[in-house]
């Protein structure tokens, strides 16, 4: 009896031991699978389109990675993404014009990173190169170019100012492998006093131009009258020189202009009217 009971107890213990052993193996298997999953996922990374990856190994720049799925050493390497797409920055800038007028403006600049030099940019500047390099360069460029023009020229030569600023900004960002696409001046703002002075000057200039136009028209009209009078005098002189300006011809000209009524005059000391026709070779009017 004792041996049988002992054997039964021993058999139950073996089953429990085997169950614990299997559970332990399953647990370790799950741990290993999870570790492998973490290892694989940490080794794979994606670089999206329009970006470039800079891979560092223990903090030091190692290589660059391009769009798609890439592999890195887990925990030892890290990938930093830099955009190579066109970026737009808007900067509020304040400067002084050549005639010492304060100018404020909103500047919009489009640029992109030269992907072939992303490794150097990250190593020398960092991922936040926009704040470190681009924004200050826009401010410096605006100040340098604005100082070459008067406040009035900044308005009248706006496109020239924009082109010169674009060239200057390109020179400043070229050493950092940042390509400037275009430089746009959204607006120019001056002090209220200076704006009023500009408006008054423009009104005065417009009035001067209007006066010049009126004077020119008056001169043209005067020259026209002189030319007509000269032409008439020349015509009369020509008639006189040719002998065509006879008494009969003059009488003909008078009759072509006459309305048929002869003038009457009043003599001094008399209330009666004298008919001029009595003294001319024309028939008298009927009373």
> Where in the chain is CATH 3.30.479.30?
87-190
Predicted confidence (pLDDT) at residue 80 exceeds the cutoff of 80:
yes
Q: What is the CATH number of domain 87-190?
A: 3.30.479.30
Mean of per-residue pLDDT scores for the chain: 79
* Spatial separation of the C-alpha atoms in residues 105 and 143, rounded to whole Å: 11
Predicted confidence (pLDDT) at residue 6 exceeds the cutoff of 50:
no
Predicted confidence (pLDDT) at residue 265 exceeds the cutoff of 60:
no
Predicted confidence (pLDDT) at residue 117 exceeds the cutoff of 90:
yes
Q: Residue 18 corresponds to which tokens in the numbers above?
A: 């085997």
Top mean pLDDT of 37-41, 78-82, 95-99, 229-233 is at 78-82
Q: What pLDDT does 222 receive?
A: 75
Helices (H), the chain: 2-43, 118-124, 129, 135-146, 151-156, 158-173, 192-242, 247-257
Contacts of 105 (CB under 8 A, 6+ apart): 92, 93, 94, 95, 142, 185, 186, 187, 188, 189
Q: Residue 62 corresponds to which tokens in the numbers above?
A: 């190692």
3-state secondary structure 62-115: EEEECCEEEECCCCCEEEEEEECCCEEEEEEEEEECCCCCEEEEEEEEEEEECH
**pLDDT one-digit tens code per residue, 34-68:** 877 777 777 888 999 999 999 999 989 999 999 99
* Spatial separation of the C-alpha atoms in residues 279 and 195, rounded to whole Å: 78
Q: What pLDDT does 180 receive?
A: 96
Furthest-apart CA atoms within the chain: distance in Å: 188
Average pLDDT over residues 170-187: 94
Q: What pLDDT does 262 receive?
A: 59
Model confidence at 2, pLDDT cuts 50, 70, 90, reads very low
SS3 state of residue 286: coil
Predicted confidence (pLDDT) at residue 249 exceeds the cutoff of 80:
no
The model's pTM is: 0.58
45 near 68, Cβ under 8 Å?
no
């Amino acid at each position: 009896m004792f041996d049988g009971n002992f054997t039964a107890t021993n058999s139950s213990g073996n089953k429990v031991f085997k169950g614990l052993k299997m559970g332990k193996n399953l647990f370790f298997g799950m741990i290993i699978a999870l570790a492998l999953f973490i290892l694989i996922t940490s080794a794979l990374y994606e670089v999206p389109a329009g970006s470039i990856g800079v891979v560092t190994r223990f903090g030091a720049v190692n290589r660059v990675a391009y769009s798609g799925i890439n592999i890195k050493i887990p925990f030892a390497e890290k990938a930093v993404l830099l955009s190579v797409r066109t970026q737009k920055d808007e900067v509020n800038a304040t400067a002084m014009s050549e005639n010492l007028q304060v100018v404020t403006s909103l500047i919009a600049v489009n640029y992109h990173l030269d992907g072939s030099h992303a490794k150097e940019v990250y190593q020398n500047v960092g991922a936040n190169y926009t704040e470190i390099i681009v924004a200050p360069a826009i401010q410096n460029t605006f100040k340098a170019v604005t100082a070459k023009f008067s406040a009035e020229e900044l308005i009248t030569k706006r496109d020239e100012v924009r082109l010169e600023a674009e060239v200057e900004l390109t020179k400043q960002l070229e050493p950092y492998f940042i390509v400037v696409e275009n430089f746009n001046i959204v607006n120019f703002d001056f002090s209220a006093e200076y704006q009023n002075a500009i408006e008054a000057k423009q009104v005065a200039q417009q009035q001067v131009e209007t006066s010049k136009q009126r004077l020119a028209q008056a001169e043209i009209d005067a020259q026209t009258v002189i030319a007509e009078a000269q032409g008439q005098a020349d015509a009369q002189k020509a008639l006189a020189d040719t002998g065509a300006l006879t008494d009969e011809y003059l009488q003909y000209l008078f009759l072509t202009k006459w309305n048929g009524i002869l003038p009457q005059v009043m003599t001094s000391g008399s209330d009666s009217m004298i008919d001029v026709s009595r003294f001319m070779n024309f028939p008298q009017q009927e009373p």
